[in-house]
């Protein structure tokens, strides 16, 4: 197989694992897959439909439309459902964050993404809708021309004391969501808590009214998240009807898992991992999710892993194979970013399965730490390999280059 220039190399051999097969197939699209405009079209259409509604409701309805209508697929050989884009290795666009750099790169003729002329027309139409109301543009308009001019003296356009423009167009991450809660009680359990709080809240003043609107938006989003999982259940069932042998059994199992989670509490390791992955994707479809970490996945999956192994429902090799699939999923993230941000952030993810003891780096205390290392070793690639420990300085140096 001839390797395209700039494409990471993964040697083919007869003993490659499921994760290596999946990653090899994705690498063939690395740098070649055009961007997807599906999410951008859906979020733009929703905001046009909901003008006049409170902002939290508009955002919730946009999320609802995205997860209900974004095209979905399940890769051959994959054991997990859900992806970062409507096509393999495509980047999705979040125009509500900013369209400023897209305008500039189109005007300067340096827009790096391959699109047909009719798609470029769509890009310009989306930019035109968001040019006054996107997050970054709204923030600079709020600051006013004088303060913005001062800011640009020190940001990327000036001395680069700080990355003000990049930060203004990027959703705020740097946190670990409470995935264990979603795994433990399901989105239906969280929905019950929200609906209970909503029922007990009375509109007495501006603050309580704002709280009611916020809670109403959460109800919309949680119900949409449940339906998102069921879309994959239906797809897996349909694919199973057209499959045979082992793959038919795998798809039927995926369908059963997605029919149960993320709506309900996970009952085993497979469902817990799928719940965590669905929730991670739901955050991405809402806010893109830069710097949002799954956290100590090995720790909170351990009770499910331990129970399944003890009951003979899961072998260590099965867990490693599932985690290989998880690593491939996380590493397939592509970003629709300006050039200085795009390259360093692609395929990055930061969950940690290690801890420091004095000056020594050791595995965590749970046995599930070691299947994570096993999945990394078995899905290891020459380049673009997802790190176990996030290297922030390396990312910073690459962004400067």
* 304-338 tens-digit pLDDT: 999 999 999 999 999 999 999 999 999 999 888 77
**Helix, strand, coil % in the chain, rounded to nearest 5:** 60, 5, 40
Is 213 exposed, middle or buried (CB count within 10 Å of its CB: 0-12, 13-18, 19+)? middle
d(CA 105, CA 109): 6
**In the predicted model, is pLDDT for residue 400 greater than 50?**
no
**pLDDT average, residue stretch 206-230:** 98
Lowest mean pLDDT segment, chosen from 82-96, 143-157, 190-204, 223-237: 143-157
Model's pTM, two decimal places?
A: 0.86
Picking from 171, 172, 190, 179, the residue whose alpha carbon sits closest to that of residue 279 is 179
**pLDDT average, residue stretch 157-183:** 83
Whether 371 contacts 319, CB under 8 Å? yes
Looking at the structure, give the CATH architecture of the domain made up of residues 18-94+171-400. Alpha-Beta Barrel (3.20)
DSSP classification of residue 313 = S
Phi and psi at residue 95, in whole multiples of 5°?
A: -70, -20
d(CA 109, CA 296): 44
Token pair for residue 99? 């369209």
**Within its chain, how far is the Cα of 90 from the centroid?**
12
What band does 361 get if pLDDT is binned at 50, 70 and 90?
very low
In terms of phi and psi (left: phi > 0; alpha: psi -120 to 50; beta: otherwise), the region of 6 is left
For 294, the 3-state DSSP assignment is coil
Q: According to the model, what pLDDT value does residue 15 have?
A: 81
**In the predicted model, is pLDDT for residue 376 greater than 60?**
no
What percent of the chain clears pLDDT 70, i.e. is strictly above it? 81
d(CA 346, CA 171): 16
Average pLDDT score, the chain: 85
**In the predicted model, is pLDDT for residue 392 greater than 50?**
no
What band does 210 get if pLDDT is binned at 50, 70 and 90?
very high
Q: According to the model, what pLDDT value does residue 366 have?
A: 53
Lowest mean pLDDT segment, chosen from 141-155, 184-198, 231-245, 263-277: 141-155
Lowest mean pLDDT segment, chosen from 7-21, 142-156, 296-310, 327-341: 7-21
């Amino acid at each position: 197989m001839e390797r395209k220039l700039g494409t990471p190399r993964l040697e083919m051999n007869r003993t490659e694992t499921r994760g290596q097969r999946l990653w090899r197939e994705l690498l063939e699209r690395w740098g070649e897959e055009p961007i997807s405009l599906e999410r951008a079209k859906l979020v733009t259409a929703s905001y046009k439909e909901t003008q006049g509604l409170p902002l939290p409701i508009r955002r919730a309805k946009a999320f609802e439309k995205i997860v209900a209508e974004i095209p979905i697929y399940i890769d051959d050989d994959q054991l997990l459902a859900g992806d970062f884009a409507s096509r393999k290795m495509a980047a999705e666009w979040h125009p509500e964050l900013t369209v400023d750099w897209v305008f500039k790169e189109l005007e300067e003729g340096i827009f790096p993404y391959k699109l047909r002329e009719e798609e470029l027309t769509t890009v310009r139409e989306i930019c035109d809708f968001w040019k006054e109301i996107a997050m970054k543009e709204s923030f600079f308009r709020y600051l006013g021309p004088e303060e913005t001019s001062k800011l640009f003296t020190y940001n990327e356009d000036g001395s680069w004391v700080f990355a003000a423009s990049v930060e203004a167009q990027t959703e705020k991450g740097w946190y670990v969501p409470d995935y264990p809660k979603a795994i433990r009680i399901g989105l239906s359990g969280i929905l019950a808590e929200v609906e209970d709080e909503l029922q007990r809240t009375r509109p007495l003043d501006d603050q309580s009214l704002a709280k009611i609107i916020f809670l109403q938006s959460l109800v919309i989003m949680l119900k949409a998240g449940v339906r998102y999982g069921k879309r994959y259940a239906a797809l897996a069932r349909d694919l199973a009807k057209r499959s045979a042998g082992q793959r038919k059994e795998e798809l039927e199992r995926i369908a059963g898992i997605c029919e149960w989670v993320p709506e309900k509490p996970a009952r085993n390791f497979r469902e817990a991992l799928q719940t965590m992955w669905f929730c991670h994707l739901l955050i991405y479809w809402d806010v893109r999710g830069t710097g949002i970490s799954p956290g100590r996945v090995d720790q909170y999956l351990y009770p499910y892993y331990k129970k399944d192994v003890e009951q003979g429902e899961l072998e260590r090799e099965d867990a490693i194979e599932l985690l290989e699939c998880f690593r491939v999923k996380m590493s397939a993230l592509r970003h629709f970013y300006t050039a200085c941000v795009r390259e360093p952030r692609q395929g990055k993810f930061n969950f940690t399965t290690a801890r420091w003891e004095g000056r020594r780096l050791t595995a965590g205390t749970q046995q599930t730490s070691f299947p994570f290392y096993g999945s990394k070793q078995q899905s290891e690639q020459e380049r673009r390999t997802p790190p176990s420990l996030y290297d922030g300085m390396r990312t910073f140096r690459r962004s400067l280059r």
